[in-house]
Amino acid sequence: MEKKFLFVTLALVATIVSFQWDAKRKNLDSLMLENVEALAEGEEDENAECFDIGSVDCPHSDIKVYYVQIYEDYALR
């Protein structure tokens, strides 16, 4: 009788632990997917203007510029 109780208890603990581990893994997977999507969106800004030659990436082209001015569109807020 004690062996049955011990076996059932261990099986129950193993089941609970496996469900908790799976839930934690799914949360990390969704977080990783959100990060990949955010990186894939890029940083292009249509309201940006590039000035001079330097070491900063211009969002509109592959050239290096000295300064990027981004104009905020406050009408959207």
Q: How far is CA 30 from CA 12, 18, 21, in A?
A: 28, 19, 15
d(CA 61, CA 40): 17
User: Which residue, among 64, 43, 67, 44, has the nearest Cα to 55 in the 3D structure?
Assistant: 64
Please give the chain's pLDDT, 77 residues, in tens.
Answer: 788 888 889 888 888 888 777 666 666 677 777 777 777 766 656 678 889 888 988 877 888 999 888 877 655 54
Closest listed residue to residue 56, CA positions, set 43, 71, 67: 67
